[in-house]
Chain A
Amino acid sequence: MDEKKVQKALSNAILSYDSGAAEKAAKEAIRLGMDPLKAIEKGLSPAIESVGEKFEKMEVYLPELMLAADAMRAAMSLLLPLIPKGKSVSKGTVVIGTVQGDIHEIGKNIVSNMLMANGFNVVDLGVDVKTATFVDEAQKSKADIIGASALMSSTIGSQKDIVDYLGSMKIRKNHAFMVGGGPTTGEWAKEIGADGWGEDAATTVRLANKLAKGK
């Protein structure tokens, strides 16, 4: 297989939502000694973007998006370690988690997956994450963005706590802050002083792109 064919195989694997094929194509790229950056940029990225576009046009549904993201990650996990230091392809780092007192993680995991598939370095803190932990981890990983999810109306108050905590530490400007989850709204995000509201996975990726560029 030559490089062109491998690029095509990588792309096809994403477009057919096939993690096994993505892994196989990534291994083939490595065997050929192909530049891993080129494999990502020419093979994988255009394909995941095209799935994203189809999703926006409502031509495909959420399961296609998730399976394409899984395939993307399968290939990326083999290619990323081979990229020389300093030649990062990451669009930025997002520290993400479900707020304190809340163990709902499915929405957060979907967003986390989508951000990874779209080229973000994601630090997923899991569920029931304390306010201080969000901030400590964001500082530790020099995160561009903090993302906080909450599903219950009784726990969304913790999203405001994070903004207040960042403010009290005088580091509010160091990290963009986005919120999401069932009971959240654009008005809520604005009211608590967040930088944006992720209504669903696709809009959250768009929002993260914007916030990462804005920094």
Chain B
Amino acid sequence: MSSFADRFRVREPKNFIKESDRKKIHDAALDVLETTGIRVHSSVARESLKRAGATVDDKTSIVKYPADLVESLLKKIPSNIVLAGRTKEHDLPLDRRHQYHTTDGCGISVWNNKTQTRHESTLEDIRKTAVLGDYLPYLSIYEPMVVANDMPSKTHVLMGLKTAMENTTKHIETESTTTPEEARAQVEMAAAVVGSKEELRERHYLSAMVCTVSPLILDGGATDAAMVWAENHVPVHITGMASMGLTGPATVAGSLVVNHAETVALACAMQAHEPGAPLLYGSVQSSMDPRTGAYNSGAPETILISIGDAEMAKFLNIPCSAGGIGGSSRVPGIRVSIENSILCPPLTTAGSEVMNGIGLADGSTLLSYEQLMLDHEIVGLVINAHKEIEVSDETIALDVIKKVGIGRNYLSEMHTLKRVRDFYLPTLWDMSTFESWVEGGKKDLMDVAGEKAHKIIAEHKPEKLDGDVSKRLNMIVDGF
């Protein structure tokens, strides 16, 4: 039986930027790192970089990275890692041949499709989306999707993580961690689930998104947290977000340089701090709306620059979680679905291994249960359209062709019976007739998606956490 990860196996990636041009971008970033430097607000990261040989000005917090130091630190990054599930069934190898999809995090409100209004997100939304995520076949990773506004600000991240751990056996990605203490508590929680902190170093059950601040800044709290993630071998998705024209030059190549410099800066800080710490090239770059400067995730330039990020990850030969779906339309529905449908395929072809964004509209701030189902359908279609075309005696099926001969059909062949099972069947629609659509109440796809989501949430029972582990999680959260 094929594994869960096999479902996400795709064709070998294509290259869109030639090696000599990737090197030009890399060399320009090295120049920036050596001459302009990076402002590193984390004293822990500065200290580790200083020990490794970087030039650190503690007054300005600017770190200048000699090129040879960068090259030697980059060599320490593991090329292939496995993002582990709570159960082994959900393990996800990152080996340049899979594309996984995760929900996004940090939404702050929730769409009500009936009233066409939005309201504040709560912890219950994390529970519901985790249950849904646990069920959905093309959702590989769950990320607590919203801020639990009903929880105290001190513990809302931990509460979100606990709720996720309790409601899905899939790999969990955490976002929004802004202090090292919060990171340590989450490490304790993940260790409680996998068995121990030693086990967690081997089984990467938790990964963490850490954003840089463009241009050329590493935040204090988030970078301190990144050092904690590194110490515990929790993979870090280094998520540069330089926006073309605003926080990066208004050209793809120029903004790639800024992003590459930031990504390499944090990657090197992690390797200086903890050699061999796992990490992913996790950029989510975009272009700005030239009229307002706003984040424009649905723009064609965003696709181009995200392809560029995947190219730079391939240049370094490290795991890549560049680009994401998550259109910029203010409301869910047709426009987000169009944006996501054109955002996703080029990144699958270019070789991004983890894409986030499922279910959030309005620049990843608005959760829609309906959109979550639509996006899930989009990625199911895209992944299956990017399968390798297998050519073998079995698939060429010469003997079957000869057996069926002229003018008959293949329906009653064992070969067909076996192989037709591989065909992708949409989960939200089928090929039934116009009449049956009328009889069904002429439902809009958003309504169908919403009904299906709420049915799954009501009926699906995720595998429970062991009672002692649950108690341990409660103790960690309560003690924070």
Q: Are B290 and A103 in contact (CB under 8 A)?
A: no
B245 within 8 Å of A by Cβ?
A: yes
Q: Are A200 and B293 in contact (CB under 8 A)?
A: yes
B397 within 8 Å of A by Cβ?
A: no
Q: In the complex, what residue of chain A is closest to B246 when comparing beta carbons? A: A106
B272-317 contacts to A (CB < 8 Å)? 288, 290-295
Which of A110, A152, A185, A187 interacts with B293 by CB under 8 Å? A110
B108 within 8 Å of A by Cβ?
A: yes
Knowing A63-B245, A103-B41, the reply to whether A58 touches B293 (Cβ < 8 A) is no
Report chain A residues within 8 Å CB of B153: 154, 157
Please tell me which stretch of B26-34, B49-57, B76-84, B216-224 contacts chain A, meaning at least 4 of its Cβ atoms lie within 8 angstroms of it: B216-224
Q: Are A63 and B290 in contact (CB under 8 A)?
A: yes
Q: In the complex, what residue of chain A is closest to B39 when comparing beta carbons? A: A103
Cα A10 to Cα B157 in complex, Å, equals 53
A46 within 8 Å of B by Cβ?
A: no
Which of B41, B157, B292 interacts with A62 by CB under 8 Å? B292
B106 within 8 Å of A by Cβ?
A: yes
A193 within 8 Å of B by Cβ?
A: no
Q: Are B118 and A104 in contact (CB under 8 A)?
A: no
Cα A156 to Cα B107 in complex, Å, equals 13
Report chain B residues within 8 Å CB of A157: 153
Report chain B residues within 8 Å CB of A156: 108
Q: In the complex, what residue of chain B is closest to A110 when comparing beta carbons? A: B293
Q: Are B365 and A153 in contact (CB under 8 A)?
A: yes
Report chain A residues within 8 Å CB of B293: 62, 106-107, 110, 200-201
Q: Are A183 and B290 in contact (CB under 8 A)?
A: no
Q: Are B217 and A183 in contact (CB under 8 A)?
A: no
Q: In the complex, what residue of chain B is closest to A128 when comparing beta carbons? A: B220
Report chain A residues within 8 Å CB of B290: 61-63
Q: Are A183 and B365 in contact (CB under 8 A)?
A: yes
Q: Are B213 and A103 in contact (CB under 8 A)?
A: yes
Cα A101 to Cα B107 in complex, Å, equals 19
Cα A153 to Cα B120 in complex, Å, equals 12
Contact mask for chain B residues 349-371; partner A; CB cutoff 8 A; 1 contact, 0 none: 00000000000000101000000
A126 within 8 Å of B by Cβ?
A: no
B176 within 8 Å of A by Cβ?
A: yes
Q: Are A101 and B178 in contact (CB under 8 A)?
A: yes
Report chain A residues within 8 Å CB of B363: 182
Report chain B residues within 8 Å CB of A201: 292-293
Q: Are A153 and B108 in contact (CB under 8 A)?
A: yes
Q: In the complex, what residue of chain A is closest to B108 when comparing beta carbons? A: A153
Cα A58 to Cα B147 in complex, Å, equals 35
Q: Are B213 and A104 in contact (CB under 8 A)?
A: yes
Q: In the complex, what residue of chain A is closest to B121 when comparing beta carbons? A: A153
Contact mask for chain A residues 51-87; partner B; CB cutoff 8 A; 1 contact, 0 none: 0000100100111000000000000000000000000
Give A59 Cβ to nearest chain B Cβ, in Å: 10
Cα A104 to Cα B176 in complex, Å, equals 15
Give B16 Cβ to nearest chain A Cβ, in Å: 28
Cα A55 to Cα B291 in complex, Å, equals 8
A157-212 contacts to B (CB < 8 Å)? 157, 182-183, 185, 187, 199-202
Report chain B residues within 8 Å CB of A202: 292
Contact mask for chain B residues 141-159; partner A; CB cutoff 8 A; 1 contact, 0 none: 0000001000001000100
B207 within 8 Å of A by Cβ?
A: no
Cα A154 to Cα B177 in complex, Å, equals 9
Cα A112 to Cα B118 in complex, Å, equals 30
Knowing A62-B290, A154-B178, the reply to whether A106 touches B108 (Cβ < 8 A) is no
Contact mask for chain B residues 214-234; partner A; CB cutoff 8 A; 1 contact, 0 none: 000101110000000000000
Q: In the complex, what residue of chain A is closest to B178 when comparing beta carbons? A: A154
Give A139 Cβ to nearest chain B Cβ, in Å: 27
Knowing A58-B291, A62-B291, the reply to whether A153 touches B106 (Cβ < 8 A) is yes
Q: Are B118 and A103 in contact (CB under 8 A)?
A: no
Give A55 Cβ to nearest chain B Cβ, in Å: 8
Which of B147, B221, B288 interacts with A101 by CB under 8 Å? B221
Report chain A residues within 8 Å CB of B107: 153
Report chain B residues within 8 Å CB of A185: 109
Knowing A101-B221, A154-B153, the reply to whether A182 touches B176 (Cβ < 8 A) is no
Q: Are B176 and A153 in contact (CB under 8 A)?
A: yes
Q: Are A154 and B247 in contact (CB under 8 A)?
A: no
Contact mask for chain A residues 129-154; partner B; CB cutoff 8 A; 1 contact, 0 none: 00000000000000000000000111
Which of A58, A152, A200 interacts with B294 by CB under 8 Å? A200
Q: A110-B293, A152-B176 are in contact. List 19 more A-B contacts (CB 8 A).
A: A62-B245, A62-B288, A62-B292, A63-B290, A103-B41, A103-B217, A103-B220, A106-B246, A152-B106, A153-B147, A154-B178, A182-B295, A182-B363, A183-B108, A183-B365, A187-B109, A200-B293, A200-B294, A201-B292
Interface residues of A (CB under 8 A from B): 55, 58, 61-63, 101, 103-104, 106-107, 110, 152-154, 156-157, 182-183, 185, 187, 199-202
Q: Give me 21 A-to-B residue pairs in the complex whose CB atoms sit less than 8 angstroms apart, sorted by A's number.
A: A58-B291, A61-B291, A62-B292, A63-B290, A106-B246, A152-B176, A152-B178, A153-B106, A153-B147, A153-B176, A154-B147, A154-B178, A156-B108, A182-B363, A183-B106, A183-B108, A183-B365, A187-B109, A199-B292, A200-B292, A200-B293
